[in-house]
Amino acid sequence: MKKIVRSASAVMLAGALVLAGCSGGSSGNGNGYVGKAEQDTNFNKEGLPIVKEPVTLKVVAPKAALAPNFSEMEIFKKLEKETNVKIDWENIPDTDYVEKKNLLVASDTLPDAFYAAGFTDYDLVTYGKDGTILPLEDLIDKYAPNLKKLLEKRPDIKAAITAPDGHIYGLPTFEENEIGTNPFFHAINTKWLDKLGLKFPETLDEYTDALVAFKNQDPNENGKPDEIPLSFMHMQWCMDIGGLFGAFGLPDNLEHRIVRDGKVIFTAVQPEYKEALKYFNEKWYKQGLIDPESFTQDAPQYLAKGKTSDETLGSFVWWEIEEVVGADRGKDYALVPPLKGPGGKQGIGRANGGGPARGSFVITKADKYPEITMRWIDQQYEPYMAAQIHWGPIDVVYKKDASGKLVNLPLPEGVSAGEFRQKVAPGAGAPGVITKDDFGKIVDMEPRAKQRKVDLEKFYEPYMEKENYPGIFFLPEELDTINRIEPELIKFVNTQRGKFIVDGNIDAEWDNYVKTLDKMGLKELMEVYQKGLDRYNQNIK
């Protein structure tokens, strides 16, 4: 870590700044404090509280739609009481967070830290290089015993969060349960199938026939044409129809990037992708089987469609049925395994990435108290606390059983696990690591996660792609290429996918679409991804 203080007079200034800050907050540019916390009698290098007199840190974080401000969550009240570190939270709705986070950084209007930060590799390398965020490895070594122990035990996690220049700029978040390999769980209303005398669909055409019947035969028997045969959220995590592309022999995902036999394939220019788009336009959209709002709705709108007074939702994509339709209606729906396509193909994709996300918490140059900040965040890498940060606190979501394991308390009546957890914990993107060894020992896997794992093994894993694109930390020049090309290219592809499904004209416009992607740099982008994959595979041999 860079030593900013270089003289006795500077040390005296540092002490003055510390004392002033302890009484008045944490604004400042960090000069005179980094590496000098031990000289402040207010700071405890070990044990709790972290400081004898309260210190305030300003922290920016996204929050889910149903979540209160983090200052109102019991888990953070508990941390404040134990540590004596107060957090001045600036919570941003998760739908707006990326844009506002970028504006804060660009305007140099920085908090002390970003929490559940979602910093990309490009963010970490760029802002680490220009000094916007601090390198953390020395702070981890000196002030983060929980995280240091984890990284010593799991060198693979340390390797995953270390940038190509050798620094650690962001802290990890990781739930090592493997339930995110396929996010596209596809459900259908079996009550309506039974009422209309339809068999459970095994092929795409049988599924289409069911959607037509849902639209035209009034299965909710209210005399209104209010049934929604299929709803989803276009190109959104766990809500998209990307899994259904597998019926044409080439599953899609949110990056439109898959791996087969070690070769990177961009799905959105392949013949199978084109064939799928034509089917979805001609067989589904033109017949009114797709909810038109699927291309514009947000999560609250989407989730509300399963909870209308009359049951109106025939089919949807989400990885927890009850969160969409409510606990009472959950029994009316069942998961649909991958459907066989017109050519007899049957498969589903595997999500890219895996392993720890490395940009969950960053400390900025504005932080006058990086040692205190590191000690505060390290509390959340203690395994019991990590579980509570991700899923909810003891006496609210968990109790400790006789063995010391956190076991789930019953949910409040009429509330789904997903909705409840949003209200009491920052969630999966927050700092903290729960390893596979922690599940069943430190914390019992939550019931919906257990069910998800069972469902994955039963319905999807037998048909899943064998490879995915791993979480590679690219070289700076590779990140420059990716950042220069990919955002606009993916935006164009996603917009065009929606237009093709809604408007058709796919044969007439396809060649020009592909040529546009070539001009935008698709070949160069795929070369970078292939080079990164080849290097990664070579390194793990």
- Segment 410-414 mean pLDDT: 89
Is residue 467 in a domain?
no
ω into 49 cis (within 30 of 0) = yes
Res. 415: pLDDT tops 70: yes
Do 404 and 507 belong together in one domain?
Answer: no
What is the per-residue pLDDT across 130-176, written as a single tens digit (0 to 9) for each? Answer: 999 999 999 999 999 999 999 999 998 998 999 989 999 999 999 99
- pLDDT at residue number 447: 78
Q: Which of 335, 366, 388 is the last residue of a domain?
A: 335
Confidence of residue 448 (pLDDT cuts 50, 70, 90): confident
Confidence of residue 1 (pLDDT cuts 50, 70, 90): very low
- The count of other CB atoms within 10 Å of the CB of residue 154 is 18
Instruction: For residue 409, give the 3-state DSSP assignment.
Output: coil
- Walk across the sheet containing 315-317 and list its strands: 315-317, 186-189, 333-335
Is residue 460 in a domain?
no
Domain with residue 107: its CATH number is 3.40.190.10
How buried is 354 (Cβ within 10 angstroms: 0-12 exposed, 13-18 middle, 19+ buried)?
middle
Confidence of residue 540 (pLDDT cuts 50, 70, 90): low
Looking at the structure of the chain, the number of domains it has is 3
What is the per-residue pLDDT across 8-29, written as a single tens digit (0 to 9) for each? Answer: 333 333 333 333 333 333 333 3
From CA 524, how far away is CA 264, in angstroms rounded? 12
From CA 32, how far away is CA 16, in angstroms rounded? 9
Is residue 264 in a domain?
yes
C-alpha distances (whole Å) from 484 to each of 409, 432, 524 are: 48, 31, 11
What is the per-residue pLDDT across 423-438, written as a single tens digit (0 to 9) for each? Answer: 999 998 999 999 999 9
Q: Is the model more confident about 411 or about 386?
A: 386
User: What does the H/E/C string look like for 273-333?
Assistant: HHHHHHHHHHHHHCCCCECHHHHCCCHHHHHHCCCCCCCCECEEECCCHHHHHCCCCHHHE
Do 68 and 166 belong together in one domain?
Answer: yes
Look at 25-34, 390-399, 527-536 and tell me which has the smallest mean pLDDT: 25-34
- Segment 259-277 mean pLDDT: 98
Do 18 and 159 belong together in one domain?
Answer: yes
Do 298 and 374 belong together in one domain?
Answer: no
- pLDDT at residue number 14: 35
Do 53 and 172 belong together in one domain?
Answer: yes
Residue 257 main-chain phi, psi, to 5 deg: -135, 120
Contact, 273 vs 267, CB < 8 A?
Answer: yes
Confidence of residue 541 (pLDDT cuts 50, 70, 90): low
Q: What pTM does this model have? A: 0.73
- pLDDT at residue number 12: 32
Is residue 198 in a domain?
yes
User: Would you give the DSSP letter of residue 162?
Assistant: S
What is the per-residue pLDDT across 282-317, written as a single tens digit (0 to 9) for each? Answer: 999 999 999 999 999 999 999 999 999 999 999 999
- Segment 239-262 mean pLDDT: 96
Residue span of the structural domain in which 136 resides: 8-178+355-424
User: Would you give the DSSP letter of residue 473?
Assistant: -
Confidence of residue 183 (pLDDT cuts 50, 70, 90): confident
Res. 364: pLDDT tops 70: yes
What is the per-residue pLDDT across 85-118, written as a single tens digit (0 to 9) for each? Answer: 999 999 999 999 999 999 999 999 999 999 999 9
- Helix, strand, coil content of the chain in percent (nearest 5): 45, 15, 40
Is residue 470 in a domain?
no
Res. 31: pLDDT tops 80: no
- Segment 37-62 mean pLDDT: 92
Do 92 and 138 belong together in one domain?
Answer: yes
Percent of the chain having pLDDT more than 70? Answer: 92
Do 279 and 383 belong together in one domain?
Answer: no
Do 387 and 316 belong together in one domain?
Answer: no
Do 316 and 369 belong together in one domain?
Answer: no
Res. 323: pLDDT tops 80: yes
Contact, 423 vs 67, CB < 8 A?
Answer: yes
Is residue 404 in a domain?
yes
Contact, 240 vs 254, CB < 8 A?
Answer: yes
Tell which residue, 53, 46, 50, has the closest CA to residue 20: 53
Residue 308 main-chain phi, psi, to 5 deg: -65, 160
Do 57 and 145 belong together in one domain?
Answer: yes
How buried is 184 (Cβ within 10 angstroms: 0-12 exposed, 13-18 middle, 19+ buried)?
buried
Do 485 and 530 belong together in one domain?
Answer: yes
- Segment 205-223 mean pLDDT: 98
Q: Which of 274, 304, 335 is the last residue of a domain?
A: 335
User: Would you give the DSSP letter of residue 267?
Assistant: G
End-to-end C-alpha distance for the chain, whole angstroms: 32
Is residue 465 in a domain?
no
- pLDDT at residue number 10: 35
What is the per-residue pLDDT across 494-521, written as a single tens digit (0 to 9) for each? Answer: 999 999 999 999 999 999 999 999 999 9
Do 169 and 227 belong together in one domain?
Answer: no
Is residue 347 in a domain?
no
Residue 307 main-chain phi, psi, to 5 deg: -120, 20
Res. 6: pLDDT tops 70: no
User: Would you give the DSSP letter of residue 60?
Assistant: E
